[in-house]
């Protein structure tokens, strides 16, 4: 279980996280909803120690991770795969080099074995045979898939997907959703998915939380989300400009 307790994070005057409490059970697909700028990326970067909180605690299977440094932090990060917002592939590297980067830097596997794993992971995301292409030659959906292949290359326990469908057409979004479900089943991973795409949320979530004004204002099953009477949550899931959430 990933347990987040009373997590606070500010950037100068901006109090982004204002006491986040969240339990994420291992093996689940957990979706974190929230408006743009609500702090979703800031929150998930704390899980793998890319952000350090001002106060609060995060435990991963019982161990505090917010105070890890050096080699321990390195070990923590190896348990995670991360699909960055916008895929964040290195343009100067080929697709194959991008997917194999973690393996090359963190293992002593011979090149042929790395190539085999890269091919296998690209196959899993429906992108076989594109090793020698450059990211600039790929469409948005293809880049996300390659980013996914890179995120799972080291067979992590937990994969964080930061806006996996943003900028994709609805058909490609649905395909990415299928892929997330498929990877979770095949690799038995815990998936943490940050999104504001309600279709993908209802498609893949075992459990959903919503971040609003620095706190978790909803935490429940997709069925509970659908039937909630909370006016803020309803406005968000129905995508209305009118309501308690002010448009700014």
Ligand X SMILES: Nc1ncnc2c1ncn2[C@@H]1O[C@H](COP(=O)(O)OP(=O)(O)O)[C@@H](O)[C@H]1O
Of residues 8 through 47, those in contact with Mg ion by CB under 5 A are 41
**What does the buried/exposed string (b/e) look like for 143-168 if buried means 16 or more CB atoms within 10 Å of the residue's CB?**
bbbbbbbbbbbbebbbbbbbbbbbeb
Minimum distance from CB of 36 to ligand X (Å)? 4
Residue 11 contact partner, candidates Mg ion, ligand X, none, CB within 5 to 8 A by sort of partner: ligand X
Residue 53 contact partner, candidates ligand X, Mg ion, none, CB within 5 to 8 A by sort of partner: none
Minimum distance from CB of 34 to Mg ion (Å)? 9
How many residues bind to Mg ion according to rule CB under 5 A?
Answer: 1
Measured distance CA(13)–CA(122) in Å, rounded: 43
Based on the shown chain and the rule CB under 5 A, indicate whether residue 190 belongs to the binding site for Mg ion.
no
Closer by beta carbon to ligand X, 40 or else 121 = 40
Based on the shown chain and the rule CB under 5 A, indicate whether residue 195 belongs to the binding site for Mg ion.
no
Measured distance CA(1)–CA(57) in Å, rounded: 13
Residue 34 contact partner, candidates Mg ion, ligand X, none, CB within 5 to 8 A by sort of partner: ligand X
Based on the shown chain and the rule CB under 6 A, indicate whether residue 11 belongs to the binding site for ligand X.
yes
**Locate tokens 């943003």: which residue?**
166
Minimum distance from CB of 238 to ligand X (Å)? 19
Of residues 30 through 49, those in contact with ligand X by CB under 6 A are 34, 36-42
Minimum distance from CB of 50 to Mg ion (Å)? 13
- Residue 199: alpha-carbon gap to chain centroid: 16
Measured distance CA(39)–CA(236) in Å, rounded: 16
Measured distance CA(216)–CA(46) in Å, rounded: 15
Closer by beta carbon to ligand X, 42 or else 151 = 42
Nearest Cα residue to 31 out of 209, 232, 218:
209
Measured distance CA(145)–CA(151) in Å, rounded: 10
Name the residues that contact ligand X, by CB under 6 A: 11, 14, 16, 34, 36-42
């Amino acid at each position: 279980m990933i347990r987040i307790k009373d997590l606070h994070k500010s950037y100068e005057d901006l109090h982004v996280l204002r006491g986040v409490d969240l339990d994420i059970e291992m093996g689940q697909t957990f979706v974190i909803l929230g408006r743009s700028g609500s702090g979703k990326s800031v929150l998930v970067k704390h899980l793998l120690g890319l952000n350090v909180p001002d106060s609060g605690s995060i435990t991963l299977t019982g161990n505090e991770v917010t105070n890890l440094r050096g080699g321990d932090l390195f070990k923590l990060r190896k348990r995670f795969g991360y699909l960055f917002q916008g895929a964040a592939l290195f343009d100067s590297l080929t697709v194959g080099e991008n997917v194999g980067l973690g393996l090359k830097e963190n293992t002593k596997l011979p090149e042929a074995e790395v190539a085999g794993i890269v091919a296998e992971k690209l196959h899993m995301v429906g992108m076989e045979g594109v090793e020698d292409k450059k990211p600039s030659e790929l469409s948005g959906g293809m880049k996300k898939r390659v980013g996914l292949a890179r995120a799972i290359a080291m067979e992590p326990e937990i994969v964080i997907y930061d806006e996996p469908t943003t900028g994709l057409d609805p058909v490609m979004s649905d395909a990415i959703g299928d892929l997330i479900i498929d990877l979770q089943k095949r690799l038995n991973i815990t998936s943490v998915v940050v999104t504001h795409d309600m279709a993908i949320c209802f498609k893949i979530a075992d459990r959903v939380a919503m971040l609003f004004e620095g706190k978790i204002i909803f935490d429940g099953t997709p069925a509970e989300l659908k039937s909630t009477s909370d006016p803020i949550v309803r406005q968000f899931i129905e995508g209305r400009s009118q309501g308690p959430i002010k448009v700014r």
